[in-house]
Structure 1
Amino acid sequence: MIDNRKLFLSKRAVNSFGGYATQQLRRLENAIARDKLPQSRKEEHILNSMKGAIRGFEGRYTKFDKGSVILFTDDSKREDLDREIFANVHLDHYPVREFNSMVNELTNIITAYEKLGHRNHKKDDNHLNKHAMHLIRLYLICLDILENEDIVTYREKEHDFLMSIRNGEFQKEDGTYRQEFFDMVTDYEKKLEYARKNISLPDNPNMKLVQEFVMSVNRRSLDG
Structure 2
Amino acid sequence: MKDFKALMNTGQYDFLRKEERLGKRIILLGLGGSYAYGTFQENSDIDFRGITLNMTSDLLGLTEFEQYEDDKTDTVIYSFNKMVKLLLECNPNTCEILGLEEEQYLIKTKLGQELLDQKGLFLSKRAAKSFGGYAGAQLRRLQNAIARDAVPQREREKHILNSVRNALEDFERRYGDFDRGSIRLYIDKAENPELETEIFVDAEYRHMPLRDYENMWAVMHNVVRDYDKIGKRNRKMDDNHLNKHAMHLIRLFMMAVDILEKGEINTCRRQELDLLRKIRSGGFQREDKTFTPEFYDILEAYEKRMEKASRESLLPDNPDMEKVEAFVEYVNRKAIEGGYLEGNTWY
**The TM-score by the shorter chain falls in which range?**
0.7 to 0.9
**Which structure ranks higher in relative contact order (CA pairs < 8 Å, sequence separation ≥ 6)?**
1
**Which stretch of structure 1 is more off in the superposition, 150-159 or 36-45?**
36-45
> Any idea what the Cα deviations from partners look like across 1:144-201, whole Å, max 9, x if unmatched?
2122222111212211111111121101123322133234324433443444344343
User: Which ranges of structure 2 fall in alignment gaps of 5 or more residues?
Assistant: 1-114, 343-347
More divergent stretch after superposition (194-203 vs 4-13) = 194-203
C-alpha distance in 1 between matches for 2:184 and 2:300: 25
C-alpha separation in 1, matches of 2:140 and 2:130 = 15
Instruction: Kindly indicate whether residue 127 of structure 2 is the aligned counterpart of residue 13 of structure 1.
Output: yes
Q: Evaluate the alpha carbon distance shift between residue 146 and residue 69 of structure 1 in structure 2; reply closer, same or farther with a 3 A threshold.
A: farther
* Aligned residue identity for 1:107: H
Q: Report the Cα offset of residue 58 of structure 1.
A: 4.6
Note closer, same or farther for the CA distance 1:180–1:114 as it changes in structure 2 (3 Å cut).
same
1:90 shift after superposition: 4.0
Counterparts of 2:310 and 2:190, CA distance in 1: 37
Q: Secondary structure at the match of 1:81?
A: coil
- Separation of aligned partners in 2, 1:90 and 1:197: 37
Name the counterpart of 1:174: 288
Contact map agreement 1:8 1:205 (CA 8 A) in 2: yes
Partner of 1:111: 225
Identity of aligned residues (%): 50
Q: Tell me, yes or no, if structure 1 residue 139 matches structure 2 residue 217.
A: no
After superposition, residues 1-224 of structure 1 pair within 5 angstroms as 1-58=115-172, 60-61=174-175, 63-219=177-333, 222-223=338-339, 224=342
Could you say what the CA RMSD is over the residues aligned between the two structures, in angstroms? Answer: 2.6
Q: Partners in 1 of 2:255 and 2:272 — Cα distance?
A: 11
Give the TM-score normalised by structure 2.
0.57
Task: State TM-score, norm by structure 1.
Answer: 0.84
Letter of the aligned partner of 1:164 in structure 2?
Answer: K
Distance in structure 2 (CA, Å) of the matches to 1:80 and 1:168: 34
Q: Partner of 2:198: helix, strand, or coil? A: strand
Q: Does the 8 A contact of 2:124 with 2:317 survive in 1? A: yes
Q: Deviations over 1:99-140 (max 9, x none)?
A: 122112211211111111111323333332222111110111
Counterpart CA distance in 2 for 1:106 and 1:85 is 11
Q: Distance in 2 between matches of 1:117 and 1:70?
A: 26
What residue ranges of structure 1 are gaps of 5+ in the alignment?
A: none
Shift of 1:64: 2.4
**Alignment partners' CA distance in 2, 1:192 and 1:220:** 38
Give the 3-state SS of the residue equivalent to 1:84 in structure 2. Answer: strand
Tell me the secondary structure at the aligned position of residue 213 of structure 1.
helix
Distance 1:67 1:196, change over 3 A: farther
